[in-house]
Amino acid sequence: MASTKSAARYAKALLDLTLEKGWVEAVEKDLNRFVQVVKESNDFRIFLNSPVVRDDKKIAVYPLIFDGFNPVTMQFLTLVTKNGREQLLPEIAHQFERQLMKHRGIVSGTITSASALTEKTKQEILDRIAPAFEGSLQLSESVDPSLLGGFVIRIEDKQIDASVANKLKELRQELVK
C-alpha cells in the first residue's frame, strides 16, 4: 500500500511537470514503451529490481535501451533510480496513466460478460450507467464463461454485478435463511 502511495505521488509530480511544459504525449508514449519492455523482458525486470546492480549502472543502461526518450522522461527515470525506487517504475507508469485519464475526463473500467457483447448491447449498457460517472466512460471488455450470463462492470471502486452466477448465489443465500 505504501508503495502504491509513493508511486501515485511520483506520478502526480511527473504529470504536473509534463502538463506545465506541454510534454504529456511524449512522456506518456515513453512510459508506455517502458512498461512494454518491462512486460516483455524478464531480464530487464530482474535487472531493474536487483539490489546487487548499483544505481549508476542502471542509469547508464537506460539511454541504451530507451533511445529517443524525451529528456524529461530520462531525467525522471534517473531521479527515481537515484532515490532507490526503480522497482516502483512500472507502478508509477500505471499511476501516471490513471491520473492522466482522470485529467482528460476519461473514466476507465472493465466489463466482463459470459460471452462477447455486441456493439449495440455495449452501447445500451454504457448509456444506462454513464450518468452515474463524471466524464466519458471507456470500458475494456473480457469474457468469463463462469458468469453463465449477464455481466459484471468494475469502474474505479464500484462494481455492478448483473451476472446470472451472482443472481443464483443471492437466491441460494435467500433459500438457506
Cross-strand partners of 164: none
Of residues 8 and 149, more confidently modeled: 8
| Residue ranges of the chain that CATH labels 3.40.30 | 105-176
Let me know: does 149 contact 142? Beta carbons within 8 Å: no
Q: Which three cell numbers stand for residue 93?
A: 507508469
CATH number 1.10.520.20 given to 2-102:
yes
140-175 pLDDT, tens digit per residue, is 899 988 888 888 999 888 888 888 888 888 888 888
Assign 2 a pLDDT band (cuts: 50, 70, 90): low
Q: What is the pTM of this model?
A: 0.75
Q: Is 30 exposed, middle or buried (0-12, 13-18, 19+ CB in 10 A)?
A: buried
Say what the alpha-carbon torsion angle 97, 119, 111, 5 is, to the nearest 10 degrees: 10
| Residue ranges of the chain that CATH labels 1.10.520.20 | 2-102
Q: Which residues are CB-neighbours of 164 under 8 A, at least 6 positions away?
A: 114, 147, 148, 149, 150
CATH number 3.40.30 given to 105-176:
yes
Residue 41 has pLDDT above 70, yes or no: yes
